[in-house]
Amino acid sequence: MAASRGGRQPQNDGYRTLSLSGHVGFGSLPDQLVKKSIKQGFYFNILCIGETGSGKSTLINSLFNTSFDDPVSTHFLPNVRLRAQTYELQENNVLLKLTIVNTVGFGDQINKEDSYQPIVDYIDAQFEAYLQEELKIKRSLFSYHDTRIHVCLYFISPTGHSLKTLDLLTMKSLDSKVNIIPIIGKADSISKTELQKFKNKIMSELVSNGVHIYQFPTDDETVSKINTIMNGHLPFAVVGSTEEVKIGNKMVRARQYPWGIVQVENENHCDFVKLREMLISTNMEDLREQTHARHYELYRRCRLEEMGFRDIGPENKPVSLQEAYEAKRHEFYLELQRKEEEMRQQFVQRVKEKEAILKEAEQQVQTKFEHRMLMHREVKLKLEKQKKVLEDEIAMFIEKKANAELLQSQASVSTSVVSLKRDKDRKKNQGFRLELLCFDVRDEEIVNVHEQREREKLERERNSPREFQK
């Protein structure tokens, strides 16, 4: 009782602060969270945007001091593609599942108008996948592979002049969806004076065009000072290399040129160390929290509002999820009934129109049928008349044929008699003509023959009375 009385404090926002008189044990809660997090591991997803050959793969290999399997890309792809690869890294018993998403073919097309759209669609797709997992009745967020993009490293070509239109359009379309950290790749290609002017030019263009990049947090006292300083170094001018060069008695990662050596981890040469410290050592967890609490929540709110869910009703009263669900369900049910009634009316209307068309077609068919029947009757009458005429002609023909056959039979009898007579005459004529021919050929023999025939005739005449007398 004494402890409770002595430990009471004034009320603050509806709750009281009490002091403890002894050890309880929840002071080890951070250690429990650390053990659980180490056992579970961490997810960190990096999106690298930049033109082909801007040094994206080399910088990632340098940041994590390893070699990732990233095939070489060409400049002849018809559109932008995103290639995601996940790796497991371990440092001091801390497991990190790192996903690197590379934009292949970005800025290589002649028409760059929609080059950023596949990137926006990919980021939204990861948010949508996480939202669908949250909305499930049986969720598994503990073992869910979170693929939401935590940071976007935007590589700017070291032209030394200004940002390209494609860069401004892409960052403007992504600043509300992902944490953007601008980077000048291959910064050893321009001088320090030009590089500083280029940095100032980039930041002024981003501000004037309303592009919001990621600012390192300054609300935490432990890192506010270093983060404030690093915010002034944006965009980081970096150089990446996986090759080691011997300088003195030490092997360092560097790029060797005929005019000298650029050390990757030398802050006087480039901002690689600053980027690595800010991205991995100091602000990785803040990037993860910003992704979930800011960008994902914005996407989630817009999607739920599109689905009809609201926190406040028409009368500015709080609405529970169940009430919003029931209201939306009722609204969908009414909309479904309305559409069903419209479809039913349309169906009835179309049936009536179809019936009218069918009736009209039926009437046309009936009219054609009656017309054809009338034509059929007329044709039939004509054919019957023609048939009767043909039958009369056939009867007359038969009668004429009979008469003709009778006449022919009579004519054949008379013809046979005449023919016999003609045959006899023809034979006589033939004998006479033969005699004449023989006479013409052999006159003497014919005369002799004729005389002999005359003699024989006279002898027969002489002998004939004698025989008669006897």
Of all residues in the chain, what percent carry a pLDDT higher than 90?
38
pLDDT of residue 205: 93
d(CA 291, CA 268): 32
Question: Average pLDDT for residues 22-51, to the nearest whole number?
Answer: 87
CA 252 to CA 420: how far, in whole Å? 150
Chain segment 227-236, per-residue pLDDT in tens: 999 999 889 9
Q: Determine the pLDDT at residue 2.
A: 39
Mean pLDDT of 450-456: 72
Let me know how long the chain is: 470
Indicate the pairing of strand 260-263 with strand 250-257: antiparallel
Separation CA 102–CA 282 (nearest Å): 24
43, 87 Cβ separation under 8 angstroms? no
pLDDT-wise least confident of 93-97, 107-111, 287-291, 369-373: 107-111
Q: Give the pLDDT score at 344.
A: 92
Return d(Cα 62, Cα 265) in angstroms, integer.
10
Split at pLDDT 50, 70, 90, the class of 259 is: confident
**Nearest partner of 184 among 236, 107, 233, 230, judged by Cα:** 236
Q: Is the pLDDT of residue 84 over 80?
A: yes
Q: How confident is the model at residue 148 (pLDDT cuts 50, 70, 90)?
A: very high
Q: At what angle do helices 117-135 and 297-306 cross, to 10 degrees?
A: 80
Q: Which residue has the tokens 């270093």?
A: 226
Distance of CA 100 to the CA centre of its chain: 27
306-338 tens-digit pLDDT = 877 776 766 666 666 677 777 778 888 899 999
* Exposure string for 230-265, b = 16+ CB within 10 A, e = fewer: beeebbbbbbbbeeebeeeeeeebbbeeeeeebbbe
Average pLDDT in the chain? 83
More confident call, 374 vs 318:
374
Q: Which residue has the higher pLDDT, 315 or 225?
A: 225
Give the DSSP letter string of 247-288.
ETTEEEEEEEETTEEEETT-TTT-SHHHHHIIIIIISHHHHH
List the one residue out of 125, 155, 137, 145 whose CA is nearest residue 57: 155
Q: At residue 10, does pLDDT exceed 50?
A: no
Closest CA to 266 of 256, 277, 274: 274
What pLDDT is attached to residue 435? 55
CA-to-CA separations, 450 to 94, 141, 428, 435, 460, in angstroms, rounded: 165, 156, 17, 10, 15
Q: Give the integer Cα–Cα distance in Å for 106 and 119.
A: 10
Closest by alpha carbon to 157, among 116, 197, 189, 131?
Answer: 189
pLDDT at 450: 64
Q: Residue 386: pLDDT band by 50, 70, 90 thresholds?
A: very high
pLDDT given for residue 26 in this prediction: 84
* More confident position, 312 or 366: 366
- Give the DSSP per-residue string, 114-151: TTTHHHHHHHHHHHHHHHHHHHSSS---SS-------E
Confidence band for 25, pLDDT divided at 50, 70 and 90: confident
- What is the three-class DSSP state of 155? strand
Listed as own residue / partner, the contacts of 129-137 with beta carbons closer than 8 Å and 24 or more positions apart are: 130/296, 131/299, 131/300, 131/303, 134/300
User: Is 155:100 a contact under the CB 8 Å cutoff?
Assistant: no
| Interval 97-124: pLDDT, tens | 999 999 988 887 777 778 889 999 999 9
Cα–Cα distance, 245 to 260 (Å, whole number): 11
Task: Please state, in angstroms and rounded to a whole number, the distance separating the CA atoms of residues 416 and 21.
Answer: 169
| Average confidence (pLDDT) over 145-155 | 93
* Sheet bearing 250-257, strands edge to edge: 244-247, 250-257, 260-263
Q: Please say whether the beta carbons of 288 and 44 come within 8 A.
A: yes
Per-state percent for the chain, helix, strand, coil, to nearest 5: 55, 15, 30
pLDDT tens-digit readout, 349-360: 999 999 999 999
Alpha carbon 297 to chain centroid distance?
A: 32
Note the pTM of the prediction, 2 decimals. Answer: 0.66
The per-residue pLDDT for range 160-207, each reduced to its tens digit, is: 788 888 999 999 999 999 999 999 988 888 888 898 999 999 999 999
Residue 203, Cβ density class (10 Å: 0-12 exposed, 13-18 middle, ≥19 buried): middle
Nearest to 126 by CA among 203, 50, 46, 51: 46
The label of the residue with tokens 């402890």 reads: 3
Q: Specify the pLDDT at position 343.
A: 93
Q: What's the gap between Cα 162 and its chain centre?
A: 38
